[in-house]
Structure 1
Amino acid sequence: MGNEYRAKVFKSGNSVALRLPKALGFVAGQEVCVREEAGRFSFEAMNGEGRIDLSGLWGSCPDLKPLSPEEREFERSPRVWDDPDWPGWKAGSGS
């Protein structure tokens, strides 16, 4: 069996957090996979797995430009409940 370390659980907002010893080699902000099996917990560094790297896409679509504020405006879609002639409309019923 490997080395044994003590860690401390503490309250962090509405959650609890586990403070790990620096000797384990984790860095602040590093993602960790935690597994629970029959009341025992194990964890391992994610090493960037599960993240999508989009840096290779930069510049690959030269004609793609951000929308202007005017282009971001959309017309409201009509809704049946906005139509007072809709059979389900009961003006003033509150329900």
Structure 2
Amino acid sequence: MGEKYKAKIFKSGNSLALRLPKALGLEEGEEVTLVPHDDGSFSFWRQDRAREVLMGLYGSMSTGFMADGRDDTAQGERDWSRDATQAA
């Protein structure tokens, strides 16, 4: 893991802004993708590297990942004879 940096959140108009250290090498106006995680942490990367990040995830799942299936795909029968424009 690389160096750790502190960042400060401040109010900017009706939004919150995150002030990042210059040492991170980001440029003014550069776009980043910010992803919140369930544990309260965040990941972010440069928008122009989004494809590279996505492709880096390929093959990173463990061998047994979803070995037992998703267990959430069972669905009841549907009535396809109904007009799709009618309210349910």
Q: Percent of pairs identical after alignment?
A: 55
**Which structure 2 residue ranges, 5 or more long, are not aligned?**
51-88
Q: Which residue of 2 aligns with 1:27?
A: 27
Q: Which secondary structure state, in structure 2, belongs to the residue aligned with residue 47 of structure 1?
A: helix
Distance 1:48 1:2 in 2: 18
Q: Which residue of 1 aligns with 2:14?
A: 14
Distance 1:47 1:19 in 2: 20
Q: What is the Cα deviation at residue 27 of structure 1?
A: 0.6
Q: Which secondary structure state, in structure 2, belongs to the residue aligned with residue 23 of structure 1?
A: helix
The structure where helix makes up a greater share of residues is 2
Q: Which residue of 2 aligns with 1:53?
A: none
Q: What is the Cα deviation at residue 28 of structure 1?
A: 0.6
Distance 2:49 2:7 in 1: 24
**Which structure 1 residue ranges, 5 or more long, are not aligned?**
50-95
- Deviation beyond 4 Å, 4+ runs, structure 1: none
Q: Which secondary structure state, in structure 1, belongs to the residue aligned with residue 48 of structure 2?
A: coil
Q: How many residues get paired?
A: 50
Letter in 1 for 2:44: F
Under a length normalisation based on structure 2, what TM-score does the superposition of the two structures give? 0.52
Larger gyration radius, structure 1 or structure 2? 1
Q: What is the Cα deviation at residue 2 of structure 1?
A: 1.4
